[in-house]
Structure 1
Amino acid sequence: MLDAGADYLLAAKANQPGLMGEIERFFADAPANLTSTVTEVDKGHGRVEERRVTVSTQIDWLSGDRRFPGEYRFPSIATIVKVQAQVYEKSRQSSQVRFYISSRSMTALQFAEAIRGHWAIENSLHWVLDVTFNEDAARSRTGHGPANMAVVRHFAINMVRSHNDKRSIKLRRNKAGRNPQYMAEIIRA
């Protein structure tokens, strides 16, 4: 990825507890001069979401020469990111904290936009896969089955999307399932 000139922005999750814990401790104790922060507020769909994005490029403590079982290795870490989200709805409030690592050094505002852009793509793709292919009801759970079927679904949805038609993706898929001639049009496109 880095060899091809691309950068990464990865979520630090519970499956990397050491990495996530170190980043969490850093932000808990970091002096203000080592971080920069931006706050965004979005209103819509009956709720208000406030996101506070904090970044730091002072990560030399993170990329030491570690040699122990379960160590994490991410080449060229340049920035760590903390996102605090507060969601206010009619009768309830929720909060969430997420952490990220990146190979690119950007401002807090640029990271906020990149993270929002990623979630917009992720949510729209998941929604389409669930509505169109009922992916959440899929029963393949072991071996290579789930990954293989995900590839097949993504391939199929891209073919259906690329077909020049005014119907929704769900209607195109349903029509292709009932009409072999229409399916052939989609495949040839």
Structure 2
Amino acid sequence: MENLIAILEKVSDPRQAWKIKHKLSDILLICLFAVTCNANSALEIYDFAVSRKQWLNTILSLENGIPSRLTFARVLQLISPKAFAVAFTQIMASVESISKGRIVAIDGKAIAGTYHNEGRKGLVYMVGAWCNENKLSLAQVKTHDKSNEITAIPELLDLLDLKGAVITMDAMGCQKDIVKKIVKEKKADYLIGLKGNQGTMYQEFMEYAQSTIQEPRGKDEYEIYRTMEKSHGRIEERNYYLFRNLEWFSDKKEWLGLSGLLLTESRRTDVKSGKKAEAEIRLYITSMKGTIEEIAQASRSHWGIENNLHWVLDVGFREDQWQTRMNIEAANLSQLRRLSANLLKLESDYNASIQRKRYRCSLDPDYMDKVLFNPCLFS
């Protein structure tokens, strides 16, 4: 707890000094505790604090009592999301279970509850980094527009120690400057989706890959890896084609570290009806030097951020249902939800959904202590 408080004390306090009655770190800790215990708004955070006042007094120095409902709301509306993002990253950097050589997925998520703010222009996006191996959120930054993910990604990369990692992204991150930052500054590798946003590059690579696969004499130009999985009444077949010789590509030197092109072809078959869906084809560029199996696994792992983080935020925390006209508050609450999700996932003895774990925390003080004071949290 001392380490957690020390990190939160570094967050810049935007309040007027002569009005301050409660330490910022205490307010932020109460917010984190409350969100973990099923609170979803500033008002519910206040209700949690009032009901757990006696317990809070044993771990925090609440000399002036419990902060008011308006104090919680004002703090969440004033704290810089960037400053909070730095604190979040420092907290997660202390977690012992985060390992080197990992696959880190970067993707954006809209907070649907801000949709009504100034029309769609007010919609808040959070661009986050997700560690596939331990299913934990590593960091996130706020952006006002999906197109601004391009500028948010470098900010997110700056927050993380990524040496030896593999960074996966969709086509939004397919930018020469981002690739350069990953390879040169962060000493990491990349696997990035390629679509039509790169002009003729996508068309050139797609034509090259498909014509090479169809040409009988082209088998020496690529490696192939096949998988088949059966689940939920469907059979999914995947073919991975890896092309390592890209010297023919005239702009290759502009894409730092570029060493391979991956084409994935997936097709689903309904077991009951036998009906096959149309094949879905994706392209990726990569700097990875590993085997085709490792590169294929990295491409599959990217979707973990959708299935294991974004889904948890929508279902376990009902993030998209909570509307607020305060975009900064929405971003800071999103930071708290992601940190809370990490705490709940690190507690592995109770095999239940995040939603049930939050509910149990709200009912069972002993279980709440187990989640909040997990010994593996800090090294």
User: Identity over the aligned pairs, expressed in percent?
Assistant: 29
What's the CA shift for 1:36?
1.5
Give the TM-score of the pair, scaled to structure 1: 0.75
Residues of 2 paired with 1:148 and 1:63: CA distance? 44
SS in structure 2 of the partner of residue 93 of structure 1: coil
Residues of 1 paired with 2:340 and 2:369: CA distance? 13
Residues of 1 paired with 2:197 and 2:326: CA distance? 19
Superposition pairs for residues 109-148 of structure 1, below 5 Å? 109-120=293-304, 122-137=306-321
Residues of 1 paired with 2:330 and 2:246: CA distance? 36
Give the TM-score of the pair, scaled to structure 2: 0.41
Tell me: CA distance 1:104–1:182, structure 2 relative to 1, closer, same or farther (3 Å): same
Unaligned runs of 5+ in 2: 1-181, 213-217, 375-379
Would you say 1:36 and 2:223 are equivalent positions? yes
Moved more, 51-60 or 160-169: 160-169
- Residue 170 of structure 1 aligns to which amino acid in structure 2? Q
Q: Structure 1 segments of 4 or more deviating over 3 A?
A: 13-19, 117-122, 135-152, 175-189
- Tell me the residue number matched to 1:174: 359
Tell me: CA distance 1:164–1:65, structure 2 relative to 1, closer, same or farther (3 Å): closer
Would you say 1:60 and 2:220 are equivalent positions? no
Residues of 2 paired with 1:142 and 1:27: CA distance? 47
Superposition pairs for residues 48-127 of structure 1, below 5 Å? 48-62=235-249, 64=251, 74-89=255-270, 90-91=272-273, 92-94=275-277, 95-120=279-304, 122-127=306-311
> Which structure shows the bigger proportion of residues in helix conformation?
2
Residues of 2 paired with 1:99 and 1:142: CA distance? 38
SS in structure 1 of the partner of residue 236 of structure 2: strand
What's the CA shift for 1:40?
1.5
Question: Higher Cα Rg: structure 1 or 2?
Answer: 2
What's the CA shift for 1:62?
3.5
- Tell me the residue number matched to 1:26: 208
Would you say the 8 A contact 1:63–1:77 is kept in 2? Answer: no
- Residue 188 of structure 2 aligns to which amino acid in structure 1? A
Residues 105-139 of structure 1: CA deviation (Å, up to 9, x unaligned): 23333322332333356423333333212345465
| Number of aligned residue pairs | 183
What's the CA shift for 1:38?
1.8
- Residue 356 of structure 2 aligns to which amino acid in structure 1? L
Tell me: CA distance 1:155–1:15, structure 2 relative to 1, closer, same or farther (3 Å): farther
Report the aligned-residue RMSD.
3.3
